Chain A
C-alpha cells in the first residue's frame, strides 16, 4: 500500500474519530433535557463501560475465552468490596494475571 493512500486513510480515520466525539458534545441541550432522555443519557456511560469490561475480561479472537483475566477481575471485585484503594486494585489484578500466566494458566 502506498504511503499516500495510507496517509489518506490515517487522516480520514482521525477526522471521523474527532467528528464522532465532537458531535456528542454539540448535541443541543433541548434535545437531551427531558427527564426520561436525561436519565438515559446519564446511564449511558455505565452501560457502555460495563459492556467494555465484559469484552476486556472474557473477549478472545474467536469468542468468549475464560483465562487469567477473569480471575484478576474477580480479585478486583473482592478488593473493591473490601474498600481497597484504586491503585492497589489495579496492581493486584495485574500481578495475579501475570503470576497465573507465568505458571502457564491463561
Chain B
C-alpha cells in the first residue's frame, strides 16, 4: 500500500527480521550437529529447537549433557538462561497486546532476536511487524538448519571461521542502535555493558546478562525522579 506512510518502515522491519533469521538460522546447523554429537537422537535435537526455541539455553543444555553432566543441571541451567526471555515478555506484552493462542504463540517466539528487531522500530505497529518477522524468521531458519545439521552433520564447519559469532554481536548492536539516541538509552546500555563485563569472569553463563537488567532498574528509578534526571542529563558527556 504505497499510500501508507508507514509502509516503508513495515517493509524495512520485515527485511530486518528476515536477515536476522537467516544469520541466526545458520547457527542451527552447528546446534543440530552438536546435539547428535552430545548423544541426543534426531528427534530430541529437533524437539529442543522446536519447543525450547532459545539458542543460549539449547547450547547450554547439550553442552552439559555432552560433558557427561547431570540432566537436572542441564535443565536448571537452560531455564536460568531463559529467564531473560520472561523479562522481554514484560515489555513485549505491552507492545503486542494479544490474548489467547496468539499470546501463547508470541510468548514462544519471545527471544533475543525477535525482541531486538521489535525494539529497533519506532512506531508501535511497526514494532509488532518487527517482532513477528524476527520471531518467525528465526523460527523457520533455526528449525530447518537444526534438522540439516542433525542429519548431515556440521556442513559449515566451525561458524567462527565465517565470522558468524561476530555477525551476531554486530546485528544486536545495530538493533539496539536506535535506542542509543537518547541519553537514558545510552546510560542504561553503558551501565548494563559495564555490569556484564565485571560479572563475566566470576559468575556462571547467563548470569552476567541477567545482572545487566539491574541497569534498567537503576536508571529507571533515577530518571523517574525529574530533578535528578536533569542532573543526569546535563553535564556527563564524558561518562560515555
User: Residues on A close to B: CB < 8 A?
Assistant: 1, 3, 5-14, 16-18, 20-27, 29, 32, 35-37, 39-59, 62-64, 68-69, 72-73, 75-77, 80, 86-87, 89-99, 101-102
Chain A: CB-nearest residue to B201: A63
- Other-chain residue from B54, B108, B169, B189 in contact with A93 (beta carbon distance below 8 A): B169
Q: Are A51 and B88 in contact (CB under 8 A)?
A: no
Subset of 27 A-B contacts with CB under 8 Å: A6-B65, A16-B79, A17-B79, A17-B82, A20-B83, A22-B89, A25-B93, A25-B98, A27-B89, A36-B224, A39-B224, A41-B216, A41-B220, A43-B219, A47-B219, A48-B212, A50-B188, A50-B193, A53-B193, A55-B196, A56-B168, A69-B165, A89-B171, A89-B174, A90-B171, A94-B170, A97-B163
Closest to A53 in B: B172
B107-A90 in contact (CB<8A): no
Task: Assess whether A53 is in contact with B176, with CB atoms less than 8 Å apart.
Answer: yes
Known: A68-B166, A94-B163. 9 other contacts (CB 8 A): A6-B44, A10-B40, A11-B47, A12-B75, A39-B220, A45-B91, A46-B185, A53-B173, A73-B169
Are the C-beta atoms of B221 and A40 separated by less than 8 Å? yes
Determine the main DSSP class of B at the interface with A. helix
B148 within 8 A of A: no
Contact among B15, B88, B173 with A48 in the assembled complex (CB-CB below 8 Å): B88
- Kindly report which residue of chain A lies nearest to residue B87, judged by CB atoms: A44
Give how many B residues have a beta carbon under 8 Å from the other chain's beta carbons. Answer: 95
Q: Which residues from A are CB-within-8-Å of B91?
A: 41-42, 44-45
Interface centre among A35, A36, A64, A97 (most CB of B within 10 A): A97
Known A41-B94, A46-B119, A48-B88; contact A21-B110, beta-carbon cutoff 8 A: yes
> Cβ of B197 and Cβ of A54 under 8 Å apart?
yes
Do most interface residues of chain A lie in helix, strand or loop, or is the interface mixed? helix
Central interface residue in A1, A56, A63, by most chain B CB within 10 Å: A56
Within 8 Å of chain A (Cβ to Cβ): is B167?
yes
**When A42-B91, A90-B174 are in contact, do A24 and B86 touch as well, CB less than 8 Å?**
yes
Asked, given contacts A49-B176, A97-B167, whether A7 binds B57 with beta carbons under 8 Å apart, the answer is: no
Contact A49 B78 (CB under 8 A): no
- Contact A17:B54 (CB < 8 A) given known A46-B119, A48-B88, A59-B200: yes
Q: Are B224 and A35 in contact (CB under 8 A)?
A: yes
- In Å, the complex CA distance between A1 and B96 comes to 42
B188 touches A9 (CB 8 A): no
Question: B116: CB under 8 A from chain A?
Answer: yes
A47 to B221, CA, bound (A): 14
Contacts of B115 in A (CB 8 A): 45, 49
> Per-residue CB proximity of B150-175 to A under 8 Å, as 1/0?
00000000001111111111111111
Whole-angstrom distance from the CB of B160 to the nearest CB of chain A?
7
Whether A49 pairs with B82 at a CB distance below 8 angstroms is: no
Out of B71, B110, B116, name the residue touching A25 (CB < 8 Å). B110
